[in-house]
Amino acid sequence: MSDNSEKIVVQGLTKVFGPHPSQALKRIAKGESSAAIHEATGNTVAVREVDFTVRAGEIFVIMGLSGSGKSTLVRMLNRLIDPTDGKVLIDGVDVTAMDTRTLRDLRRRDIAMVFQSFALMPHLTALDNAAFGLDVAGMKVSERRDRARAALEKVGLGHLADRYPNELSGGQQQRVGLARALAQNPTVLLMDEAFSALDPLIRSEMQDELIRLQEEESRTIVFISHDLDEAMRIGDRIAIMEGGRMIQVGTPDEILRDPADDYVRAFFRGVDVAQVYTAADVARREGLTVVNLQESHLRAALERIRRAERDFAVVHDRRRHFRGVISVESLEAAIAERDRKHGDKPVDHEAVIRAAYLRDPVTVPADAALSDILGPVAAAPYPVPVIDAEGVYRGVVSRRALLNALDRGSDDQTAVDAASATGSGEAA
């Protein structure tokens, strides 16, 4: 989870390959196209005046077609490729200005990289492969083996520490590669198409593994991918590159809602929004709510619901923690039962309040995908409350809001009209 502080800041980052990069830079400053620059100078502009920020603890995915510059870009972050121009600041320190020794220390201490190729040494065990970077750095044998073993445990391979690469599956080999990076205990992890060589099932497992590791031990991850589903699944934010330029940066939701241009729109065409949007994304706050329902306020609550021409309301406390759902019928029944018993014996106020709530109210988790809440929302007679992991009420999802989200702003009103006709008391 990102803490919103700036871990990596990239400013005007440019890479020119060719005999006369200074000539290319002058033409870039004049606004000439990369094609024109190549024709005039023979230089190839691989990355062009890129600016972006990566927040501490987030997974920042960079996407683009082959030749868009994404792999060149990620290699400039740790200067495996030296930039032609621009700056890369990590924790406020300019990597592009570092001397060789300082840069080497940074790579050993703070930055690790995982490539598409597993690059395991065939004559070394999984443990020794995981410890390889620490060995190169000169760490003592006992310490590096302890750290490597702990890293293998993190990726679920502790029991295979003595196996050789040819005794491991492709997914297990990639886990060893990931363990080798984690053994350094880096604050920044660069992953260049790290899972693209794996078959779909193992790839999905590795994505799950990365998400799990991020929850347990948050790092700043820059992840290169050409797979949109992968980017949408793991990325806190996504950057889209084309022709060396960064076209758009945003959350998956932001880019889906407002693509920067036709190129980005084409990238995201056909995305199953039911798998991308969550209940929190479509939750609306205009659902009727009651704060801290009390036995003495039952009639007032009933009157509020009737005045609003609704049938249901959500109850939460002053900190918006969800308490339940009430309805006109449940309130009327609770009031009638209280009044009927009044005078015979002391009123059980807690029992009256319990009677005012619907039993087993339908709710959905805030992080649930829309595909997972279709059934509950369709079946519920009221807009369904959305509750986050701390029990906080985030709003309601009505059938209309859900269909509008799935329709992604289409002009076709058929689905919306159908939703409007289903059930009474739904908030629009």
Mean pLDDT for the chain overall:
84
Residue 281 counted as domain residue:
no
Residue 273 counted as domain residue:
no
Same structural domain, 349 and 402: yes
Structural domain tally of the chain?
A: 2
List, in order, residues 6 or more apart from 339 with CB less than 8 Å away.
Answer: none
- Measure CA of the first residue to CA of the last residue in the chain; give whole Å: 32
Same structural domain, 294 and 394: yes
Minimal CA–CA distance to 239: which of 208, 212, 260?
260
Which CATH number fits the domain that encloses residue 53?
3.40.50.300
- Does the pLDDT of residue 135 top 70, yes or no? yes
pTM, to two decimals = 0.66
Report, as an integer, the average pLDDT of 186-191.
90
The residue range of the domain holding 251 is: 6-110+186-268
pLDDT bin (cut points 50, 70, 90) of residue 44 is very high
Same structural domain, 216 and 310: no
pLDDT of 341: 62
CA distance 328 to 313: 9
Element containing residue 186 per DSSP (H, E): none
Residue 130 counted as domain residue:
no
The last residue of one of the domains, among 268, 299, 323, is 268
CA distance 88 to 4: 18
User: What are the Cα distances from residue 75, in Å, to 145, 188, 240?
Assistant: 28, 13, 17
Neighbouring CB atoms inside 10 A of 11's CB total 16
User: What are the Cα distances from residue 50, in Å, to 143, 307, 312, 383?
Assistant: 40, 55, 51, 44
Report, as an integer, the average pLDDT of 197-225.
82
Order the strands of the 364-365 sheet from edge to edge: 364-365, 384-387, 393-397
pLDDT of 406: 72
The last residue of one of the domains, among 238, 268, 298, is 268
pLDDT of 33: 92
Same structural domain, 205 and 250: yes
Minimal CA–CA distance to 27: which of 45, 12, 10, 47?
45
